């Protein structure tokens, strides 16, 4: 009798276990994991006020839903151009140590072959992708890399298990593989699939933003199990020049910008204040030297300018639409609520025109190829084979309260729209104004995943320790553990330099943008960096000069030899 009872008990336990396992399988998609998925979304050259949640008029409902329901960072800073930012983003280390002390394309003779100026992500840093992969994450990226083209320096060599990447800084957004700049018309933009260079793009590569998301979804579906957390790095090339977008998206914005960039600047400035992403007391930025008021343009020039902004808006719109597809995929797979999403631009708005970017005297071969192989007609603008930049006017409106734009250490070059979203790890509906850096992303992601950085040694090799700090207290809505009012951030690129401590900032820039002297600004009262207080606040000025010298020495900065007065 006892044996019979024991058999019944064993059978019942077995059935209970079976049903429990079946039930677990049914609800596995919504299991509360200890390690979150991580989705890092980077856009290229987006202005601070381009998306709706930061003051823009462009239709961005998917991004805005995440931003409004998450935490927006109103004082988040990057380098002033793309590859230096990306090196810090993925390492937590200053770009002067990570290999991008200057962009590969801009290295001066005295910087070449010097440590920290390799022009690619060097071996002295370990990437967040590598560390998360070591911790059991599935690591995948899709989009722009720009951190090394040669074997050993592609995404698959730096921690990404699966990667589709544009290795260079820019290219046509369509499938023709035209590089954004090349000295010969035969050269193709370099793309790689898991480390292997591609001779042609897939047939379903219709537009960059569309294909990058397609490829990310395919990659996430390839995981052996959804129980394995993922780190996804989605790196759009939009809205980097040449400005191009699908015809239907461009048509959506036809006529929207007929009033011109001066009107747009005031509209965005007002909305940004209402949203609280800039102070209510903020003034419009000062016009840059090459700026021309809208009412001084001829009718033909206005048509071209208007069309350029229509194409640009369509590119931002496409980023939103394609991001929405990825969000829907995560929602339908039951993984969205366990995914921490961080969105940011790699620098401020691009605002140069074609003559400035590819001056015929400095880059004769490249400029010749651009001029001879592209269609510059009004009808072609934004379509395959066209070459469009959107210039000073729209660039100024892109960051209406900040001075200048991409390639400058002023607020317009380094302060970018950024936000985080997740219902568990990120506070809902918050604005945070702490001084934050792109270097903070890697330590934040590692802390989220419960992964330690190795410090100064990784697998027997000496590496740089991180200089960023975790933003997790800011994400969670608690008081920051770091005193951000006294935080120090230095910046240098192309010999243009800055040092920030809290709201105080010194900036040094060449003519015609400045007088090649250090200026001091109080950003609390002068966000546009228009009033030089160096003579009024001599003690603060000297203090910041001392901090700059410490930053310069610590990071072995080499000012380009073509910069005078240093």
Query: Rounded to 5 degrees, what angle do the CA atoms 407, 323, 246 make?
Result: 75
In DSSP terms, 341 is beta-bridged to 39, 421
- Give just the sign of the alpha carbon dihedral 318, 43, 139, 200: positive
Q: Which of 139, 90, 64, 77 is nearest to 421 (CA)?
A: 64
In DSSP terms, 141 is beta-bridged to 163, 233
Burial label for 150, CB within 10 Å (0-12, 13-18, 19+), is: exposed
**CA separation for the pair 397, 467 (Å, rounded):** 33
**DSSP annotation string for 302-339:** HHHHHHHHHHHHHHHHHHHHHHHHHHHHHHHTT-GGGE
Give the DSSP H/E element, type plus range, for residue 419.
Answer: strand 415-421
Phi, psi at 11, each rounded to 5° = -65, -45
In the set 82, 352, 508, 519, the catalytic residue is 82
The answer to whether residue 146 is catalytic is yes
Q: What is the DSSP letter of 68?
A: H
**CA separation for the pair 319, 330 (Å, rounded):** 17
Q: Which of 126, 8, 151, 20 is nearest to 459 (CA)?
A: 126
The answer to whether residue 374 is catalytic is no
In the set 95, 96, 146, 508, the catalytic residue is 146
294 neighbors 260 (Cβ within 8 angstroms): yes
Q: Which of 73, 117, 74 is nearest to 94 (CA)?
A: 117
The tokens describing 497, both together, are: 């330099």
Q: Is 374 left (phi over 0), alpha (psi -120 to 50) or beta?
A: beta
Locate the DSSP E strands across 403-530: 415-421, 430-432, 436-437, 457-458, 461-462, 488-493, 496-501, 504-508, 518-522
Question: How would you write 144-187 as a 3-class SS string?
Answer: ECCCCCCCCCCHHHCCCCEEEEECCCCECCCCCCCECCCCCCCC
User: Does the bond joining 239 to the residue before it have cis omega, within 30 degrees of 0?
Assistant: yes
**Catalytic (active-site) positions:** 82, 146
């Amino acid at each position: 009798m006892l044996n019979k009872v024991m058999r019944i008990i064993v059978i019942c336990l077995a059935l209970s276990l079976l049903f429990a396992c079946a039930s677990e399988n049914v609800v596995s998609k919504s299991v509360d994991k200890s390690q979150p998925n991580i989705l890092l979304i980077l856009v290229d050259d987006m202005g601070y006020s381009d998306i709706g949640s930061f003051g823009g008029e462009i239709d961005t409902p998917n991004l805005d839903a995440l931003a409004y329901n998450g935490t927006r960072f109103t004082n988040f800073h990057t380098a002033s151009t793309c590859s230096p930012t990306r090196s810090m983003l993925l390492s937590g280390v200053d770009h002067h140590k990570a290999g991008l002390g200057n962009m590969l394309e801009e290295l001066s003779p005295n910087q070449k072959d010097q440590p920290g100026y390799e022009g690619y992500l060097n071996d002295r840093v370990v990437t967040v992708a590598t560390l998360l992969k070591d911790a059991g994450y599935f690591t995948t990226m899709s989009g722009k890399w720009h951190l090394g083209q040669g074997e050993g320096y592609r995404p698959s060599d730096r921690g990404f298990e699966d990667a589709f990447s544009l290795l260079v800084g820019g290219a046509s957004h369509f499938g023709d593989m035209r590089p954004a700049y090349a000295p010969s018309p035969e050269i193709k933009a370099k793309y790689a699939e898991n480390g292997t260079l591609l001779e042609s793009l897939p047939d379903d590569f219709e537009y960059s933003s569309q294909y990058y998301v397609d490829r990310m979804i395919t990659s996430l579906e390839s995981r052996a199990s959804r129980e394995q957390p993922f780190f996804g790095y989605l790196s759009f090339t939009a809205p980097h020049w040449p400005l191009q977008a699908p015809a239907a998206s461009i048509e959506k914005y036809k006529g929207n910008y007929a009033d011109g960039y001066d009107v747009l600047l005031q509209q965005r400035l007002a909305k940004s204040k209402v949203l609280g992403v800039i102070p209510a007391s903020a003034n419009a930025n000062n016009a840059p030297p090459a700026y021309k008021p809208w009412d001084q343009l001829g009718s033909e020039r206005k048509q071209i300018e208007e069309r350029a902004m229509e194409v640009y808006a369509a590119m931002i719109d496409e980023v939103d639409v394609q991001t929405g597809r990825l969000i829907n995929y995560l929602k339908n797979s039951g993984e969205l609520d366990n995914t921490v999403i961080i969105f940011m631009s790699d620098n401020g708005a691009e605002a140069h025109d074609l003559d400035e970017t590819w001056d015929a005297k400095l880059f004769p071969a490249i400029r010749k190829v651009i001029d001879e192989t592209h269609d510059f007609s009004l009808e072609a603008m934004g379509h395959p084979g066209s070459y469009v930049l959107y210039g000073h006017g729209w660039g100024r409106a892109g960051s209406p309260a900040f001075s200048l734009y991409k390639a400058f250490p002023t607020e317009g070059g380094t302060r970018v729209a950024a936000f985080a979203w997740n219902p568990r790890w990120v506070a809902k509906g918050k604005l945070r104004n702490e001084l934050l850096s792109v270097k903070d992303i890697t330590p934040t992601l590692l802390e989220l995943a419960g992964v330690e950085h190795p410090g100064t040694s990784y697998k027997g090799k000496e590496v740089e320790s991180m200089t960023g700090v975790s933003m997790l207290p800011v994400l969670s809505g608690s008081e920051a553990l770091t005193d951000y009012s006294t935080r120090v951030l230095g910046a240098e690129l192309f010999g243009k330099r800055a040092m920030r401590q809290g709201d105080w900032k010194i900036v040094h820039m060449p003519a015609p943008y400045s007088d090649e002297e250090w200026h001091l600004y109080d950003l609390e009262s002068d966000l546009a960096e228009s009033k030089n207080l160096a003579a009024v606040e001599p003690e603060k000025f000297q203090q910041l000069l001392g901090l700059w010298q410490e930053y310069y020495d610590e990071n072995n900065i080499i000012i380009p030899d073509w910069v005078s007065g240093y």
